[in-house]
Amino acid sequence: MYTHSLYVYLSSEENKAYVEKIFIYAAFSLFLVHLFIILLADSFQVFPTLFENLNTNYLSALYTPFSIILVYEVYFMILALPLSFTESIKKQYDIISLIVIRRVFKDLSDFSDFSEVWERTDQFLDIIFDLTGGLVLFLLVGVFYHVSKNRKKANSSDKLYKFIRFKEIIALLLAILLFGLAVAAFGEWSREVVLSAYNQIEYNLDVESLFFEDLFTVMIFSDVLIFIASFLYSKRYEVLIRNAGFIVSTILIRISLTVKNEYGVIIAVGAILTGIAVQLTYRYFSWLDISDEERIYPSQ
């Protein structure tokens, strides 16, 4: 029962509002800090060795608040896990769409001057592709939200109660594990920065996929655990296939993070399309379960 009480506390509206404020203040503060560091390195040449490999384009500072927002989305994705598979996958789609949009800002910051756009058309076209892909993902996330509305609620039962408690335990364990992964990712980033500054070696850490590759790897295994446990609660064909389809969607998101250039965006689009198709098919099966009388005389 301690785990249930802890989850209830973390998922309470009061606590979520408090955490939301923390993330907003952190995003705002770190954005200003990033801008100030760029100012020191670019205009005043402070600590030239330390900031030698720093991107001094002020647009690169936009990457920082986006990263904080992504961590914020991860936190709420974990809290959504015990609610339903659908709520959890919604947050995963939010995260991958934000990752793609964040990459647009990072790529734009690689141009020291916008006049370089005409000299580096290939890179600019990559940016346009990512931006278009991000907007498509944004649209598809909206479509998934739409097809997931007004879902039929499961009937309360002792099995359902135990299943929800199991998911709460998984969510709390995920929170601890992902916090450890975040700390490890920050440590790896810090180490790379120090090595590049003092040993004058090129900074080669891929910050775009840092932490998030591990995140979706962990999500795959946690989803599989919940999928297996769901057999104890429901053996309905459409429910099991829907949940399996969502796991496939998560795997596709994980693959999209390791594939570079436009293929990663295409696979991410395929992941959300998979989720939409699975949800629509599940809704169709749910419609088939409605009795003939209810179809003729729908309830008000």
Q: How far is CA 297 from CA 138, 153, 261, in A?
A: 37, 20, 52
Dig out the tokens for 250 from the structure. Answer: 């998560």
> Does residue 69 carry a pLDDT above 90?
no
Mean residue pLDDT of the chain comes to 80
Buried-state track 172-196, b at ≥16 Cβ within 10 A, e below 16: bebbeebeebbeebeeeeeebbeeb
Residue 84 DSSP code: -
Residue 112 is predicted with a pLDDT of 67
Q: What amino acid occupies position 54?
A: L
- Kindly state the percentage of the chain with pLDDT values over 90: 17
Residue 290 is predicted with a pLDDT of 58
The full set of domain ranges for the chain reads 2-286
Residue 120 is predicted with a pLDDT of 72
Pair 92, 216: CB distance under 8 Å: yes
Dig out the tokens for 212 from the structure. Answer: 């998030």
**Confidence band, pLDDT 50/70/90 cuts, at residue 253:** very high
**Confidence band, pLDDT 50/70/90 cuts, at residue 298:** very low
**Confidence band, pLDDT 50/70/90 cuts, at residue 156:** low
Angle at 221 between CA 215 and CA 227, to 5 degrees: 130
Half-sphere exposure of 36 (CA within 13 A, CB side): 6
Half-sphere exposure of 95 (CA within 13 A, CB side): 29
Alpha-helical (H) ranges within the chain are: 2-11, 13-43, 63-80, 85-108, 121-147, 158-198, 212-233, 237-258, 261-288, 292-296
9-66 pLDDT tens trace: 888 888 888 988 998 999 899 889 888 888 877 766 655 656 666 677 777 788 888 8
Residue 297 is predicted with a pLDDT of 42
Residue 209 is predicted with a pLDDT of 63
Considering only residues 168 and 203, tell me which one the structure prediction assigns the higher pLDDT. 168
209-228 pLDDT tens trace: 667 888 888 888 888 888 88
- How far is 110 from 114, CA to CA, in rounded Å? 10
Pair 262, 127: CB distance under 8 Å: no
Dig out the tokens for 123 from the structure. Answer: 């890179």
Dig out the tokens for 30 from the structure. Answer: 């770190």
Residues in the chain: 300
> Does residue 182 carry a pLDDT above 70?
yes
Dig out the tokens for 118 from the structure. Answer: 């005409």
Pair 116, 298: CB distance under 8 Å: no
Residue 272 is predicted with a pLDDT of 96
**Confidence band, pLDDT 50/70/90 cuts, at residue 143:** very high
**Confidence band, pLDDT 50/70/90 cuts, at residue 296:** very low
Pair 130, 81: CB distance under 8 Å: no
Pair 137, 100: CB distance under 8 Å: yes
- How far is 183 from 146, CA to CA, in rounded Å? 36
